[in-house]
């Protein structure tokens, strides 16, 4: 369970990348969330579709387990959920 409603790991703003283009964003700035921050947030929801998504990111080498673990530890979530996520990462990476 998220404790304060913050969906992303602490410090995500400093890792996000600006995306701006005169045509596709009409000159407005959008922010692209870093892959490990996105994966940690998705994993915290702990839905099957989100675990599948994170598994694919790991398989394709788009994220690495150690960085994902660091980001999980930056989430404002209860400790029971944190432990579940860390165990999931451990078991998933072992099977890959």
Beta bridge partners of 3: none
Q: Is residue 85 part of a domain?
A: yes
Q: Does an H or E element contain 73, and which?
A: none
Give Cα separations from 71 to 19, 52, 92 (angstroms).
22, 18, 17
Contact indicator for 38, 27 with CB cutoff of 8 Å: no
Tokens for 82, please give them. Answer: 């944190």
Residues 6+ apart with CB under 8 A from 81: 1, 44, 46
Q: Is residue 91 part of a domain?
A: yes
Q: Is residue 28 part of a domain?
A: no
pTM equals 0.89
Per-residue pLDDT of the chain (96 residues; tens, 9 = 90+): 554 547 999 999 999 999 999 888 899 998 899 999 999 999 999 999 999 999 999 999 999 999 999 999 999 999 999 999 999 999 999 999
Q: How many domains does the chain have?
A: 1
Q: Is residue 50 part of a domain?
A: yes
Q: Is residue 45 part of a domain?
A: yes
């Amino acid at each position: 369970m998220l404790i304060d409603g913050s969906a992303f790991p602490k410090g995500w703003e400093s890792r996000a990348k600006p995306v701006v283009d005169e045509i596709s964003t009409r000159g407005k700035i959008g922010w692209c969330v870093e892959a490990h921050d996105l994966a940690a947030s998705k994993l915290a929801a702990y839905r099957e579709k989100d675990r599948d998504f994170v598994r694919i990111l790991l398989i394709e080498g788009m994220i690495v387990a150690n960085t994902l673990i660091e980001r999980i530890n930056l989430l404002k979530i209860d400790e029971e959920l944190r432990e579940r996520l860390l165990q999931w990462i451990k078991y998933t990476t072992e099977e890959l």
